[in-house]
């Protein structure tokens, strides 16, 4: 546990204790690809308000893009896990900027926490940069449209809460090596 390798705390790791390792990895890959498609469909359809057909095409394209599925063969499941949770994070940021509701900060923290619990911290780091830049884009766009600085500050607070809680979820994996 203190060596900080593997996805010991990631929820799909339970499959490795139920099935033999090759079968468990296959199920993990399958669930990850399906989650990636569902999360991207949610982001496109409910976040960006795209038509159902366009969201479906985008989700299927995301599920089977070469950058994503090419990680099967070399066993880079950690990268796949992080990539699959990114659309949910972007959906949470978009809805948080649109509505300023705390439930989207909680959803953001859940998705970030799941990314941290994977075995690929570097991809999570890059995802956090992308999430932050997307928040800046959405937040500044909303600020320009509304001209309400108080709303913007509230959104920044909720975004910070979501990031902080997400990092807190990941501390179960980060803290043991630093005893």
pLDDT value at residue 5: 63
**Number of helices (H), then strands (E), in the chain:** 8, 0
Q: What residues contact residue 87 under an 8 Å CB cut-off, 6+ apart?
A: 36, 39, 40, 42, 43, 62
Q: Specify the DSSP class assigned to residue 10.
A: S
- Give pLDDT tens digits for 25-61: 899 999 999 999 999 999 999 999 999 999 999 999 9
The structure tokens listed for 119 are 């075995």
pLDDT value at residue 77: 83
**What is the pTM assigned to this prediction?**
0.92
Task: Please state the rounded mean pLDDT for residues 87-113.
Answer: 96
């Amino acid at each position: 546990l203190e060596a900080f390798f593997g996805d010991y705390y990631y929820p799909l790791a339970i499959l490795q204790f139920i099935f033999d390792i090759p079968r468990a990895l296959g199920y993990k890959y399958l669930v990850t690809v399906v989650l990636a498609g569902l999360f991207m469909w949610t982001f496109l359809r409910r976040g960006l308000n795209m038509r159902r057909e366009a969201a479906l095409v985008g989700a299927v394209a995301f599920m089977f893009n070469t950058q994503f599925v090419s990680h099967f063969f070399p066993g880079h499941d950690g990268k796949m896990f992080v990539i699959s949770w990114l659309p949910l994070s972007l959906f949470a940021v978009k809805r948080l900027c649109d509505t300023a509701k705390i439930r989207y900060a909680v959803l953001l923290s859940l998705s970030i926490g799941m990314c941290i619990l994977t075995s690929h911290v570097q991809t999570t780091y890059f995802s956090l940069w992308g999430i932050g830049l997307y928040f800046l884009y959405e937040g500044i766009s909303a600020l320009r449209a509304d001209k309400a600085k108080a709303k913007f500050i509230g959104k920044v607070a909720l975004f910070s809460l979501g990031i902080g809680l997400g990092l807190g979820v990941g501390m179960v994996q980060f803290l043991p090596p630093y005893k």
